[in-house]
């Protein structure tokens, strides 16, 4: 039953939040204005005033949590040791971040990192290296299909074709539907008895598959779902790139007697590169760190078909090993960081952004 009062309460609740935010920002800006403009007469006053809210926000929601997390990663904080850790083994009794429980020494140095990298089963069943390998397979296979199918569909849709708009609209659906919902749908369709996937396989005479309880098949199901989800994005991005390629190149190539395969390889591919290089980088971030797909297809049941980020979620929220999870998170972050640095150096994907 729709409850008008409740809706009004939601509105005022968010309204209050906004008013508090605006007031806080206003106070901060006035203080900064008085200091920078009236007192110091700083020529750099405007950029500082403009950046201030973002800086404060990022400090509270990225810098502080990450520093906290780094500190926790050197402790054995967990449900049994649920106390606010001191900084690097020091205690900070009497600070605003007072202990949540009894104060005791939970600082264990690099032990968490050693546990992770020595590869022993740090979750209940799977170790770091298995998760790492599975994450690489997951990312590479997903990106491969996103890219090839996306480009293939875009090239077909870029031709003079009846029903082009209709195809495009329908093919975009997986991207348009909120992922949360598509994942619930796919989870049901992978059901052994009632799911559509097994029924369709049955039509072709293939025996039903245990999509949800067999680790390898579960992993395959995750990949299938994510391919379904991710292709439209690459398709639309490629279509945009294709439409910005001038027709003249193709005409010139045709006059020179180039076949369509040749002109695809020497015109389309190089001119799509500047569009696809950043898109692939973004795709890698979204796939590598994708927790929604594995989490909902797996329903957090099979530990053996986890990838790194679901392992991380499991360590933090199922086993409540906060110290260990923090160290794990930094290892995951470091892997992605190393990849990104390598990728950006090789492809100059971010060229121009720093000018």
Partner 1 sequence: MSSMQVQEMLDVRRERKEMGMRERLTSPPRRGEDSPLKRALIHLMLIITTIIIVFPVVRVFSTAIRPGDNLLNPTLEIIPEGATLDAFYHVLFETNLLNWIVNSLVVTMGTATVGLIVAATSAYAFSRHKFRGRSLSLTFLFATQLVPAVMLLVPVYLIAVQLGLVATYQGLVIAYSVTAVPFSIWILKGYYDTVPIDLEEAAMIDGCTEFQAFRKVLLPLSLPALAIVFLFNFLAAWSEYFFARQLIGASEELLTWPLGIQRFQQQFQTQWADLSAASIIVSVPIVILFVYISKYLVSGLTLGGVKG
Q: Which of residues 24-83 bind partner 1 (CB under 8 A)?
A: 44, 46-48, 50-51, 53-54, 57-58, 60-62, 64-66, 68-69
Segment lying near partner 1 (by CB under 8 A), choices 12-20, 30-38, 105-113, 138-146: 12-20
Segment lying near partner 1 (by CB under 8 A), choices 32-40, 109-117, 174-182, 211-219: 174-182
Buried b / exposed e along 185-224 (16+ C-beta atoms within 10 A)? ebbebbeeeebebbeeeeeeeeeebebbebbebbbbbbbb
Instruction: Count Cα neighbours of 60 within 13 Å in the Cβ-side half-sphere.
Output: 5
Residue of the chain from 91, 210, 289, 300 that contacts partner 1 (CB under 8 A): 289
d(CA 91, CA 102): 12
Q: Based on CB atoms, which residue is closest to partner 1, 197 or 302?
A: 197
Distance from the Cα of residue 299 to its chain's centroid: 18
Distance in Å, CB of 126 to partner 1, minimum: 16
User: In the window 223-242, what residues touch partner 1 (CB under 8 A)?
Assistant: 228, 231-233, 236-237, 240-242
Residue of the chain from 136, 141, 340, 343 that contacts partner 1 (CB under 8 A): 340
Instruction: Count Cα neighbours of 251 within 13 Å in the Cβ-side half-sphere.
Output: 4
Residue of the chain from 32, 253, 274, 319 that contacts partner 1 (CB under 8 A): 274
User: In the window 150-169, what residues touch partner 1 (CB under 8 A)?
Assistant: 153, 156-161, 163-164, 167, 169
User: In the window 249-268, what residues touch partner 1 (CB under 8 A)?
Assistant: 250
Distance in Å, CB of 74 to partner 1, minimum: 15
User: In the window 175-194, what residues touch partner 1 (CB under 8 A)?
Assistant: 175-182, 184-186, 188-189, 193-194
d(CA 41, CA 28): 17
Q: Based on CB atoms, which residue is closest to partner 1, 53 or 215?
A: 53
Residue of the chain from 95, 199, 259, 262 that contacts partner 1 (CB under 8 A): 199
Any alpha helices (H) in the chain, and if so which ranges?
Answer: 4-33, 45-58, 64-72, 111-117, 128-157, 164-171, 173-176, 179-189, 196-203, 215-243, 247-255, 260-263, 269-288, 292-298, 308-313, 322-347
**DSSP-assigned states of every residue in 7-61:** HHHHHHHHHHHHHHHHHHHHHHHHHHHIIIIIIS--TTHHHHHHHHHHHHHHIII
Segment lying near partner 1 (by CB under 8 A), choices 33-41, 115-123, 140-148, 196-204: 196-204
Q: Residue 349 interacts with partner 1 (CB under 8 A)? A: yes
Q: Residue 1 interacts with partner 1 (CB under 8 A)? A: yes
Q: Residue 131 interacts with partner 1 (CB under 8 A)? A: no
Block residue for tokens 């729709």: 2
Residue of the chain from 34, 137, 140, 170 that contacts partner 1 (CB under 8 A): 170
d(CA 231, CA 228): 6
Q: Based on CB atoms, which residue is closest to partner 1, 215 or 278?
A: 278
d(CA 114, CA 128): 11
Segment lying near partner 1 (by CB under 8 A), choices 30-38, 136-144, 210-218, 332-340: 332-340
- Name the burial class of residue 134, with classes exposed (0-12), middle (13-18) and buried (19+) by CB atoms within 10 angstroms of its CB: buried
User: In the window 88-107, what residues touch partner 1 (CB under 8 A)?
Assistant: 96-97
Distance in Å, CB of 351 to partner 1, minimum: 4
Distance from the Cα of residue 338 to its chain's centroid: 16
Distance in Å, CB of 352 to partner 1, minimum: 2
Q: Look at residues 16, 22, 226 and name the one whose alpha carbon lies nearest to residue 141.
A: 226
């Amino acid at each position: 039953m729709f409850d008008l009062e409740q809706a009004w309460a939601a509105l005022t609740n968010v309204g209050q939040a906004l008013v508090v935010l605006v007031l806080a920002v206003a106070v901060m800006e006035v203080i900064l204005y008085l200091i920078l403009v009236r007192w110091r007469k700083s020529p750099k006053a405007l950029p500082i005033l403009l950046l201030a809210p973002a800086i404060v926000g990022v400090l509270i929601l990225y810098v502080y949590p990450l520093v906290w997390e780094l500190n926790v990663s050197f402790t054995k904080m967990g449900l049994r040791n649920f106390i606010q850790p001191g900084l690097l083994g020091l205690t900070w009794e009497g600070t605003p971040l007072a202990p949540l429980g009894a104060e005791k020494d939970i600082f264990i140095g690099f032990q968490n990192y050693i546990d992770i990298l020595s590869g022993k089963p740090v979750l209940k069943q799977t170790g770091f290296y298995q998760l790492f390998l599975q994450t690489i397979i997951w990312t590479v296979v997903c990106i491969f299909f996103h890219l090839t199918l996306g480009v293939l569909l875009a090239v077909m849709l870029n031709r003079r074709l009846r029903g082009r708009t209709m195809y495009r609209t329908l093919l975009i659906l997986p991207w348009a539907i909120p992922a949360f919902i598509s994942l619930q749908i796919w989870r049901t369709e992978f059901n052994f008895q009632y799911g559509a996937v097994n029924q369709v396989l049955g039509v072709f005479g293939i025996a039903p598959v245990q999509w949800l309880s067999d680790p390898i098949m579960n992993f395959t199901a995750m990949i299938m779902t994510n391919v379904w989800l991710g292709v439209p994005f690459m398709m639309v991005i490629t279509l945009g790139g294709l439409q910005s390629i001038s027709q003249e190149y193709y005409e010139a190539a045709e006059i020179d007697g180039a076949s369509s395969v040749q002109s695809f390889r020497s015109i389309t591919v190089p001119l799509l590169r500047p569009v696809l290089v950043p898109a692939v980088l973004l795709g890698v971030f979204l796939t590598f760190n994708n927790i929604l797909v594995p989490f909902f297809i797996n329903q957090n049941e099979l530990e053996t078909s986890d990838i790194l980020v679901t392992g991380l979620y499991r360590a933090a929220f199922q086993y409540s090993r906060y110290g260990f999870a923090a160290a794990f998170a930094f290892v995951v972050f470091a892997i992605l960081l190393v990849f990104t640095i390598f990728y950006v150096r090789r492809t100059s994907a971010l060229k121009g952004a720093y000018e």
